[in-house]
Amino acid sequence: MLLIPLGIACVVAFVAGALVASGSAERDSAQRFADAWQDGDYGAMYDELNADARSRYSREDFESAYADAARTATQTALEVGDLEGPEDRGGESVVVVPATVQTSAFGDVDGEVAVPVADAGVAWQPNLVFPGLAEGDELRADTEYGKRAPILAADGSALASGPASARVTNGSGGIVTGETGTPGRKLSKQLSELGYPADAETGTSGLELAFNDVLAGTPGGKLLAVGDGGKAVLAQRPPTPGKPLRTTIDAKLQDATAAALGSTFGGAAVLDAKNGDVLALAGIAFSAPQPPGSTFKVITASAALEDEATSLGEQFPVETSTVAGGREIANAHDEACGGSLVTSFALSCNTVFAPLGVRIGGQKLVDEAEQYGFNSPPTIYNPKALALTQPPESTIPNPLKDDVNVAVSAIGQGEVLATPLEMASVAQTVANDGVRSPTAMVKSPELAGDYPDVEVMKPGVAKQVKKMMIEVVNSGTGSAASVPNAQVAGKTGTAELGTTTTTGPAAPGEEPEQDVDAWFTAFAPADKPKLAVAVMVVKAPGDGGTVAAPIARQILEAGL
């Protein structure tokens, strides 16, 4: 028997224990490093580096290296397996970390990283940013794109086709489809997560952006480890082509709507009166809300009738101005206006509808407007696409802080803002017996979104508002919207943005130039509604009845 002196035995035991303790500490550090990698917490990963590694690599460079690798790989998720080791590899102690990286463009990457450990921490090296990289390797992507699919009108004709770098729009289709090009920084970050390099040309606005993932398909190609020894393929997958996007757009009506608006700065929207589908858009149809002026009186009227705060036969004073909420409010052109509710609506009497707003109260007015879709995103796409494109909302302050604000809001002034799309939806609601339908732009239910119909008012109230809108065209401010062989029901609006003198004082006997937006919203035929339309002209040369109503008439004539 070999006898070992007690002192030597204690030294051996102490050294062995120290080695075990050191290995355990280093494995624990590697485990925390791997867990943080799986969570995408690069800061926590850096905290596990030993002193030597931290002296050679800054926290910023370390975190950037991992972020760049994830972006290059189009990484969407990473999962680590059970660690192995520490074990000796080439004279250094390493802990093996199995990892599966899920990517958008290249499929799943299965591999491992051998994490060097020393001095109770991770002895980090740059090749640890991705499985399969040898020392000195760089991670690169050779990306390929699938064929971009066309955007189609409801009848299957192409509104936009061709690659993103040379997209061709047919007729006025570009107004609806949006644009392709090189994305800005914010959009580039979002698209990189889908597998597109920062300089890739892709959808940048409208439908091209909203449903870019559908139209562009899925990128593919090769994910490479590139070093002095050449290239190694870590993962590869062929690209998949995009899928055609069929819209609700009526191609002929779309061209007619764009032609009717022409070069005028403004917007127009046409809806299917039965179901709310978007049939045509022109100009800034849903991109730049403006004060809707007296077209908002449709909402004020329905709120008052629904609340039984007035009736069609109620008689109102004939006057040129009135005081509402302590503020004097005048009729357009200081005209004397009043009579029954129907007549007051047909002649667009501010002196009637501003006090009527105060009568029903601010909260009722706001609630009614919100039932019509104000203060909510337009229901043109599903929520995912809306989040990507962020179209502006039509808005009304909630709450309205005092009676002055209630009064001016009731006539579509103050801080009330709306788009032609929203005001076309208001007309569609009246036409559809008081039920507001979603304003879908695409045929696919999944892409259009699951938006419910909203009962804004009872059918009887809608019938009363319809009667009022008919009188606007037959005997009021909207006569220029009349079309042959079909009764039009509408409402004019002239939003006064402020009186300005742009070329010096007005000549003697002349009025100063008015800075106004001209509006008209309508549906037709009134007895069996087919189309709902709204037109807005920004800084118009006249009022809604003389500027916007004739444009709406051209659109209705083309579509009926």
What is the Cα gyration radius of the chain?
A: 33
CA distances 171 to 90, 175, 263, 441, Å, are 68, 9, 15, 18
β-pairing, 321-324 vs 327-330, is: antiparallel
CA distances 496 to 201, 261, 385, 517, 539, Å, are 42, 21, 34, 7, 9
Tokens 């709902």 map to which residue? 532
Dist. CA 400–CA 360, nearest whole Å: 13
β-pairing, 266-272 vs 531-537, is: antiparallel
Dist. CA 298–CA 410, nearest whole Å: 9
Q: Which of 146, 144, 128 is nearest to 136 (CA)?
A: 128
Dist. CA 225–CA 525, nearest whole Å: 66
Task: Give the side-chain half-sphere CA count within 13 A for 465.
Answer: 32
Residue 294: active-site member: yes
Q: Identify whether the C-beta of residue 547 lies closer than 8 Å to the C-beta of residue 554.
A: no
Question: Which residues, at least 6 apart from 415, have a Cβ–Cβ distance to it below 8 Å?
Answer: 395, 396, 397, 405, 409
Output phi, psi for 76, to 5 deg.
-115, -25
Q: Which of 29, 93, 172, 294 is catalytic?
A: 294
In a 3-state reduction of DSSP, which class is residue 209?
helix
Tokens 């892709």 map to which residue? 202
Dist. CA 350–CA 348, nearest whole Å: 6
DSSP class of 497: E
DSSP class of 394: P
Long-range contacts at 93-97 (CB < 8 A, ≥ 24 apart)? 93/23, 93/26, 93/117, 93/118, 95/26, 95/27, 95/30, 95/31, 97/30, 97/33, 97/34, 97/37
Dist. CA 22–CA 33, nearest whole Å: 16
**Residues with catalytic roles:** 294
